[in-house]
Structure 1
């Protein structure tokens, strides 16, 4: 009898329970946690400040068996590699480039669980631009994020860069 445990009976008394009926219990015993659902979980734990005004979530949990996608740093260059000298314009273009990379991998912004943002000469006005862009894209379910102020990036005139980790559940 495939997928059966000998000696156990179904509720009708005619055969063994299937292994599948024990799966959640076995998972709990093996891994010490209850089986997670197949969705990305975003959590802001009690005891940590509310990061939502700054455009991120403290914790993102990928479900078991998910496909992980890594997106390299995307700057504010257009398709021809041109950069403008305006931070807000580069920010929007970098996120448009991120969308292009996500689409190429079969993902969308809601699949992003981690961002790393690099900002040249970071200040509060740049943080406000970034927060507005994050809110426009993710609303009340932003990914985790690390913002790193830097003195410069790879290219002259480059003011912003974002890389991402996405999860397809």
Structure 2
């Protein structure tokens, strides 16, 4: 059973997106940090379109989680870096197909990522109560 608590305190403004202001991890949980994932496919190709990179990035996040026997419910924090404007309708469509819960999240627009063809990178932190 996942005992991670996500909440938006009444003393704060409502989130402007699909995230929680506060995430509480129970004692004796294992913390997992994952490298930022990019939109590369299984063959090593990076698509030109930002929207396809978003889809591939979430697929790679799912693979990373499965490698540790975790699911999206275990994600406690998401950091998103994008060099292009994010198509929010598309992003949240992909997001809602992936998440049943809304972890804490930070989004930043930056000028460049590790390779010129990379348009978005998403890093996650996860926890699994013992």
- The verdict on a shared fold, with TM-score over 0.5 as the criterion, is yes
The alignment of Structure 1 onto Structure 2 pairs a total of residues equal to 129
Cα offset, 1:99, TM superposition: 0.5
Higher strand content, 1 or 2? 2
- Residue deviations 1:15-60, cap 9 Å, x none? xxxxxxxxxxxxxxxxxxxxxxx60000101122222x61211111
**Map of 1:134 onto structure 2:** 95
Secondary structure of 1:48's match?
Answer: coil
* Unpaired segments ≥5 residues, structure 1: 1-37
| Greater relative contact order, per chain length (Cα 8 Å cut-off, separation 6+) | 2
**Map of 1:94 onto structure 2:** 57
**Map of 1:155 onto structure 2:** 115
Counterpart contact for 1:54–1:127, Cα < 8 Å:
no
Change (3 A) 1:47 1:122: farther
Secondary structure of 1:118's match?
Answer: strand
Higher helix content, 1 or 2? 1
* Unpaired segments ≥5 residues, structure 2: none
**Under a length normalisation based on structure 1, what TM-score does the superposition of the two structures give?**
0.71
Distance 1:74 1:153 in 2: 11
Distance 1:93 1:103 in 2: 15
Secondary structure of 1:132's match?
Answer: helix
**Map of 1:65 onto structure 2:** 28
CA RMSD of aligned residues (A): 1.7
Distance 2:48 2:88 in 1: 17
**Map of 1:75 onto structure 2:** 38
Distance 2:14 2:97 in 1: 18
Distance 1:48 1:81 in 2: 43
Secondary structure of 2:55's match?
Answer: helix
Largest Rg, 1 or 2: 1
